Structure 1
Amino acid sequence: MRQIDHFIQGYAGSGAGVRKHSIWNPSTGEVQAEVALGDASVLEAAIANAKRVQPEWAATNPQKRARVMFEFKRLVEANKQALAELLASEHGKVVDDAHGDIQRGLEVIEFACGIPQALKGEYTNGAGPGIDVYSMRQPLGIGAGITPFNFPAMIPMWMFGMAIAAGNAFILKPSERDPSVPVRLAELFVEAGAPEGLLQVVHGDKEMVDAILDHPAIAAISFVGSSDIAHYIYSRGTANNKRVQAFGGAKNHGIVMPDADLDQVVNDLAGAAFGSAGERCMALPVVVPVGEDTANALRAKLIPAINALRVGVSNDPEAHYGPVVTPEHKARVEGWISTAEAEGGEIVIDGRGFTLQGHENGFFVGPTLIDHVTPDMESYKEEIFGPVLQMVRAKDFEEALRLPSEHQYGNGVAIFTRNGHAAREFAHRVNVGMVGINVPIPVPVAYHSFGGWKRSGFGDIDQYGMEGLRFWTKTKKITQRWPDGGGDGSNAFLIPTMG
Structure 2
Amino acid sequence: MFNEAEWQYQISATFFIGVIVPTLFYCYKRYVSTSANRYNKLEAPVKLNLPIPDEAKAHWKGKRLYAPNLSVRVVDEPNVIQCYCPATGQSLGAFPATTRDEMDEQIEKASIAQKEWKQSSFSLRRKLLHSLNRYIIDHQDEIARIACRDSGKTRLDASMGEIMVTLEKLNWIVANGEKALRPSQRPGPSNLLIGMMKNGEVRYEPLGVVSAIVSWNYPFHNLMGPIIAALFTGNAIIVKCSEQVVWSSQWFVHFVRTVLKQLSIPEDLVQLCYCFPEDADYFTSHPGIDHITFIGSKQVAHHVVASASKQLTPCVVELGGKDSVIVLDDVKDLNALSSVIMRGTFQSAGQNCIGIERVICLPQSYGKLVEIFTERVGKLRIGSDIDQLDEIDMGAMVSNNRFDKLQQLIEDAVSKGAKLIHGGKPYQHPNYPQGHYFEPTLIVDVDETMDIFNEEVFGPVLTMIKAEDVEHAIELSNATEYGLGNSVFGRNFNECNEIANRLDSGNVAINDFATFYVAQLPFGGIKKSGYGKFGGEEGLTGLCVAKSIVMDKPLLRMLGIATAIPPPLDYPIKNDKKAWGFVSALNSAGYDNRFWKVLKSIKKLAKGG
TM-score under structure 2 normalisation?
Answer: 0.73
Kindly indicate whether the alpha-carbon contact (under 8 Å) linking 1:436 and 1:442 is maintained by their aligned counterparts in 2: yes
1:324 to 384, 397, 415: 397
Work out which of the residue numbers 136, 142, 151 in structure 2 matches 1:91. Answer: 151
CA distance in 1, matches of 2:475, 2:344: 22
Matched pairs, number: 473
- 1:253 maps to 324
Match of 2:224 among 157, 167, 178: 157
- Residue 138 of structure 1: how far off its partner (Å): 0.3
Q: Partner of 2:267 in structure 1?
A: 196
* Deviation for aligned residue 1:123: 3.4
SS of 2:360's equivalent in the other structure is strand
Deviations 1:395-415 (A, max 9, x none): 111110011212111111112
Q: Does 2:340 correspond to 1:268? A: yes
1:32 and 1:444 map into 2 onto residues whose CA distance is 31
Q: Which moved more, 1:322-331 or 1:90-99?
A: 322-331
Letter matched to residue 394 of structure 1: A
Amino acid at match of 1:378: D
Q: Does 1:475 align with 2:540?
A: no
Taking the aligned partners of 1:485 and 1:33, their CA distance within structure 2 comes to 69
Match of 2:174 among 84, 103, 113: 113
- Between the aligned partners of 1:485 and 1:250, the Cα distance in structure 2 is 58
C-alpha distance in 1 between matches for 2:561 and 2:303:
59
Q: Which amino acid aligns with 1:61?
A: S
Cα distance in 1 for partners of 2:560, 2:146 equals 68
Unaligned runs of 5+ residues in structure 1 are: 4-15, 490-499
Is 1:307 equivalent to 2:378 in the alignment?
yes
Matched with 1:350 is: 423
The answer to whether the Cα contact below 8 Å between 2:360 and 2:477 also exists between their aligned partners in 1 is: no
Q: Which amino acid aligns with 1:454?
A: K
- Find 2:468's aligned residue among 395, 408, 423: 395
- Distance in 2 of aligned mates of 1:353 and 1:72: 39
Aligned partner of residue 87 in structure 2, secondary structure: coil
Q: What is the letter of the counterpart of residue 107 of structure 1?
A: E
Match for residue 45 of structure 1 among 102, 105, 113: 105
Check whether the contact 1:219–1:243 (CA below 8 A) recurs between aligned residues.
Answer: yes
Mean Cα deviation higher: 331-340 or 41-50: 331-340
For residue 296 of structure 1, the aligned residue among 360, 367, 371 is 367
Q: Which has the larger radius of gyration?
A: 2
The percentage of aligned residue pairs carrying the same residue is 26
2:303 maps to which of 220, 224, 232? 232
Q: Secondary structure at the match of 2:466?
A: coil
Equivalent position amino acid for 1:156 in 2: L
Q: Is contact 2:335–2:372 with CA below 8 Å preserved after alignment?
A: yes
Unaligned runs of 5+ in 2: 1-53, 56-75, 190-194, 565-609
Quickly say closer, same or farther: Cα 1:302–1:52, change in 2 above 3 A: same
TM-score (structure 1 length as normaliser): 0.89
Instruction: Give the aligned residue type for 1:111.
Output: W
**1:385 alignment partner in structure 2:** 458
Which residue identity lines up with residue 81 of structure 1 in the other structure?
Answer: D
Match of 1:496 in 2: none
Q: Does 1:211 align with 2:273?
A: no
Deviates more, 1:245-254 or 1:176-185: 176-185
Q: Which residue of 1 aligns with 2:499?
A: 426
Measured at CA, do residues 340 and 314 of structure 1 come closer, stay the same or move farther in structure 2, by a change above 3 Å? farther
In structure 1, how many angstroms separate the alpha carbons of the residues matched to 2:108 and 2:397? 37
Q: Which has the higher helix share?
A: 2
Matched-pair contact (CA < 8 Å) for 2:93–2:247: no
Q: Check the 8 A contact 1:171/1:199 in 2, yes or no.
A: yes
Which fold has the larger relative contact order, with Cα–Cα distance below 8 Å and residues 6 or more apart in sequence?
Answer: 1
Structure 1 partner of 2:237: 170
Any conservation in 1 of the 2:485–2:508 contact (CA below 8 Å)?
Answer: yes
Give the 3 Å change call, closer, same or farther, for CA 58–397 of structure 1 in structure 2.
same
Contact kept in structure 2, 1:225 and 1:248, CA below 8 Å: yes
Q: Secondary structure at the match of 1:269?
A: helix
Which residue in the other structure is 2:522 paired with?
A: 449
- Determine the C-alpha separation between the residues in 2 that align with 1:384 and 1:486: 66
Match of 1:61 among 121, 131, 137: 121
Return the letter of the residue paired with 1:306: V
Question: Is the partner of 1:113 in helix, strand or coil?
Answer: helix
Letter in 1 for 2:213: I
Q: Provide the rounded CA distance (Å) in 1 between the counterparts of 2:93 and 2:400.
A: 16
- Distance in 2, matches of 1:421 and 1:323, equals 40
Name the SS of the counterpart of 1:369 in structure 2.
strand
